Amino acid sequence: MLGEDFGVKKVHTINRRMFIIGVAKLVVFTGIITRLFSLQITENKKYLTLSDKNRLREWRLPPIRGEFLDYFGNIIAGNLKVYQLHVIPEEVENFKYLMVRLKDILSITNNDFKKIIDQKNKQKPWETIIISKNLTWEQFTKVNYYLHDLVGAKPVLSVSRNYPFNENYTHVLGYVSEASEKDILRFKIDQTAVISLGANFYKTVTKNTNNVGFYSSFNYEKAKSPKIMIIGDSYIEAAQIKNSDTIGEVLVAKENKKNIYQMGVSGVSLSQYIKMAEYAKNNYAPENFVIVIVGNDFDESLCDYRIKLGTWCFNENFQLVFKPFNGYVGIRSYLRQSAFARYLFLQAGFNWRSLMSHIRLKPQGMAASSEYAGNVKRIKDEELMRKSLLVIDQFFEELNNLQITSKVTLVLDADRQDIYNNLRTESYFNKMREYTIRRANINSVRLIDMKLIFEDDYKVNKVKFEFPTDGHWNEYAHKLVAEALIKN
């Protein structure tokens, strides 16, 4: 009996200790996660500001531009020294407080105040905001007097362009405006990005944008009409592979020509391709257009579906309308500044929709399906199917309106899972593919169906056309598409 009691007590003691150790581990792990969240999100701007003291900073200096004189020697465009007030948001501990104080000191109107807030939301936190482009001497001295209370504000002496005759000489001097719906969505020019795949960073790629803001090893010149302009979404952006391995640059290497341009931006669709083609026609006048179409290009062209801001979409009347982008707000603006958050969502593949579905925050529209065809769900409801078919009709109608159908070649992706499994399944994407092929034939538009090419190649080589953790085309697929374009 004593032995049994001793054994029971020993088991209880072990269980109690294991429980205590487990609770201790949970507390420590929770503390680490909380502290990591605090450092990455809550105190992000604080530590960014403190780290500035230990690094070099690049400053944008206004260029000293030449003067324009008329026949009589009068200056019609010159330079003027002005007092300005600059603010760099990431160096400001309390941006709202600073702006309220500056609004009171400088008598900033509500309209100008709103413009400053909008500009701050649109641009990067390390980019300078010009609060006032031309302070009077009284305003300049007033700001300096209160400077001790205006942490982050920097009154500077700068150089501004001056036009003494205002609009009278605009036809001579020209005019440059900010990007609008007349422009197209793109990246910043001459930027370098390092992109990784997988939670363990099994593939890392360094990408560069060119002089007009697209991923390319070559600059684009408007004076030289390119032989081909390739248009698409993330499949042409091709963030997962080197610029030199993309369709356009494989063509450049094989054809020994540098006048093949690519315009690719992730998240755009058929509706935006129309505007990209229009922009290319008006600015570069290419000899030929290649438009790459993938599975999510159909429903994502609808304005009432998930649409990328800063692009065009089809409204309920299937007219093209522009959806402006006014910057990230709320938690998205904080998460985009967090290296840890970028790792979770971009590298580790963390699925926030799946998480919300499990914790039942937003039950509608959050159900995740593991069955995909052409990077979209295999099954879509009938109403969305009907609208998607109308999107295809309108896409070809817009191509006809641009009068470029004879110059266009469509490249149509395939249901690659069907190819690997040697199947022919009924799916939303396959129905969209069939209808696109039919409409292309009716409108006499050349079309390359990658399904036939991928099938023939996979039977022989057994090499897949995407990455293990990413459904975009890999280098091998880009090479096959380039070869198909050369043959056609």
Span 56-80, pLDDT tens digits: 555 555 666 677 776 667 777 778 8
- Strand, helix or coil at 200? coil
Q: Which pLDDT belongs to residue 57?
A: 53
Strands (E), 375-464: 376-377, 408-412, 446-449
pLDDT-derived band of residue 379, with 50, 70 and 90 as boundaries? confident
**What is the Cα–Cα distance from 93 to 95, expressed in whole angstroms?**
6
Q: What is the DSSP letter of 321?
A: E
* This prediction's pTM: 0.61
**What is the Cα–Cα distance from 89 to 74, expressed in whole angstroms?**
40
pLDDT digits (tens, 9 = 90+) for 419-462: 998 988 888 999 999 999 999 999 999 999 999 999 999 999 99
pLDDT digits (tens, 9 = 90+) for 324-353: 876 555 555 555 555 555 555 554 555 544
Q: Which pLDDT belongs to residue 366?
A: 29
pLDDT digits (tens, 9 = 90+) for 193-227: 877 777 667 788 889 999 999 999 999 988 788 99
Q: Report whether 214 contacts 186 (CB < 8 A).
A: yes
Q: Which pLDDT belongs to residue 448?
A: 97
- Strand, helix or coil at 155? strand
Strands (E), 177-310: 192-197, 203-208, 228-232, 260-264, 288-293
Mean pLDDT of the chain: 81
Q: Can you read off the two tokens belonging to residue 63?
A: 């260029």
pLDDT digits (tens, 9 = 90+) for 106-163: 888 888 888 888 888 877 777 788 888 888 888 888 888 888 888 888 888 887 777 7
Q: Can you read off the two tokens belonging to residue 308?
A: 């990328």
- Strand, helix or coil at 313? strand
**What is the Cα–Cα distance from 136 to 143, expressed in whole angstroms?**
11
What is the largest distance, in Å, between two alpha-carbon atoms of the chain?
Answer: 119
Q: Which pLDDT belongs to residue 51?
A: 62
pLDDT digits (tens, 9 = 90+) for 13-50: 777 888 888 888 888 888 888 887 777 777 776 666 65
Q: Report whether 311 contacts 323 (CB < 8 A).
A: yes
With pLDDT > 70 as the criterion, what percentage of the chain qualifies?
77
**Residues β-bridged to residue 194:** 206
- Strand, helix or coil at 390? helix
**What is the Cα–Cα distance from 479 to 214, expressed in whole angstroms?**
20
**What is the Cα–Cα distance from 327 to 10, expressed in whole angstroms?**
62
Q: What is the DSSP letter of 41?
A: I
Dihedral, CA of residue 464, residue 468, residue 474 and residue 476, to nearest 10: -30
Q: Which pLDDT belongs to residue 262?
A: 96
Q: Which pLDDT belongs to residue 131?
A: 87
Q: Report whether 445 contacts 408 (CB < 8 A).
A: yes
pLDDT digits (tens, 9 = 90+) for 275-285: 999 999 999 99
The values of phi and psi at residue 181, to 5°, are -65, -10
Confidence check: pLDDT of 2 > 90: no
Tell which residue, 108, 224, 106, 197, has the closest CA to residue 155.
Answer: 106
**What is the Cα–Cα distance from 197 to 239, expressed in whole angstroms?**
10
**What is the Cα–Cα distance from 43 to 334, expressed in whole angstroms?**
10
Q: Which pLDDT belongs to residue 285?
A: 93
- Strand, helix or coil at 443? coil
**What is the Cα–Cα distance from 337 to 332, expressed in whole angstroms?**
9
**What is the Cα–Cα distance from 326 to 114, expressed in whole angstroms?**
12
Q: Which pLDDT belongs to residue 174?
A: 46
Residues with Cβ within 8 Å of 170's Cβ and at least 6 positions away in sequence, in order, are: none
**What is the Cα–Cα distance from 472 to 237, expressed in whole angstroms?**
10
DSSP for 391-402, written as a single string: HHHHHHHHHHHH
DSSP for 110-122, written as a single string: HHHHHHHHHHHHH
Residues with Cβ within 8 Å of 195's Cβ and at least 6 positions away in sequence, in order, are: 204, 205, 206, 207, 239, 240
**What is the Cα–Cα distance from 368 to 7, expressed in whole angstroms?**
49
Q: Can you read off the two tokens belonging to residue 39?
A: 């450092």
Tell which residue, 473, 397, 393, has the closest CA to residue 435.
Answer: 393
Confidence check: pLDDT of 306 > 50: yes
